[in-house]
Amino acid sequence: MLVIYNPTAGRRRVRRLWAVLDVLVAHGIRLEVAETMHPGHARTLASEAAGAGTSLVVAAGGDGTIAEVAAGLQGAGTDLGIIPLGTANVLAHELGLPADAISLASVLTSQRTIPLWPGIMQSALGTRLFVQMLGIGFDAHVVHHISRPVKRVLGRGAYVVQTLRELPRYRFGQIRLRVDGVEMSAGSVIIAKGRLYGGPYLLAPDATTSAPGFSVMLFEHAGIGSALLAGAALPLNMLGRLPGLTHHRASEIELLDQTGLPAQADGDPAGMAPLRVTDADAALRVLVGRLQSSDTGVATIVPSIPSPGYHSAPV
């Protein structure tokens, strides 16, 4: 097992990682830990591990780190595990992954998997894989300008602060796109693989991470008022009920003639339009096992006294 860890997570989240590793090591699991050094490094580490025959690669970080690791595992047949350490952890919520260390360790040793079928975004910057969603418009503009140190300190609150800063700066307008060959327009666009957005909040009830295709969410209205309304609706779990929101199932989406329009993928900056979105060639296998209730099963696992039983791989 190789654990690829994004060290930009805050201290509280890092404690979760070490707690999970302690449980695994205490029960005889051999593992290595590799820290990412720069954007894209997780993909390289995952690809190298898969090429060396590693059977399980674990992404320890947020949705962006998971997407990088998934990109490195494409086509390799290596299982993907997740230790959620991000700000929103949308995919972890989507998959129903537990938060406590014992249960997460149990998932990583369960061998129970489900398919995870990513999306692929193609733009002038190249090809990028995403696992949960792609946003175009104001939410992407906020992601492009958010400060990582502020995000580390404030968590989700950083998005609120940055949203208020960017509202008077952003030039709201209609976004032109082609959805399975049909031209449409919207004030904001979310291309979803999963049902959830921004954490545990329902947006696209017809979406599925385990099959090809996308749920394209078109927010008709554009402007400061609409952005504030969406921001207020999110924590109330009412984003999917906003007036002017329409749902479309599609397999190919193109952003048209709008060079410079920002995009974000899984909560990270993802370049600018024009861009094209399609499915990845195949699904990955992601571990989603549960604790089993039995007298002597994994439900009885308890953490040992913390000890440095893992070793950090040189990178």
Contacts of 55 (CB under 8 A, 6+ apart): 1, 78, 79
Number of domains comprising the chain: 2
Q: Measured at the alpha carbon of residue 136, what is the angle toward residues 130 and 138, in degrees to the nearest 5?
A: 130
Residues 298 and 188 placed together within one structural domain of the fold: no
| pTM score | 0.87
Tell me: do 236 and 305 sit in the same domain: no
Rounded to a whole number of angstroms, the distance between the first and last alpha carbons of the chain is 16
Are 270 and 128 part of one and the same domain? Answer: yes
Residues 76 and 179 in one domain: no
CATH of the domain at 81: 3.40.50.10330
> What is the CATH number for 190?
2.60.200.40
Dump pLDDT digits (tens) for 74-115.
989 899 999 999 888 999 999 999 989 999 999 999 889 999
Same domain, 273 and 286: no
Examine the domain organization and report whether 275 and 295 are in the same domain. no
Say whether both 62 and 20 belong to one domain.
Answer: yes
Which residues of the chain are under the pLDDT cut of 70? Answer: 9-12, 259, 290-315
Q: Is the peptide bond before 274 cis (omega within 30 degrees of 0)?
A: yes
Asked if 72 and 155 sit in the same domain, the reply is: no
pLDDT score at 90 = 94
Beta-carbon contacts of 103 under 8 Å, excluding residues fewer than 6 positions away, are 290, 291
Domain that includes residue 302, residue range: 2-117+282-312
| Whether residue 236 sits in one domain with residue 217 | yes
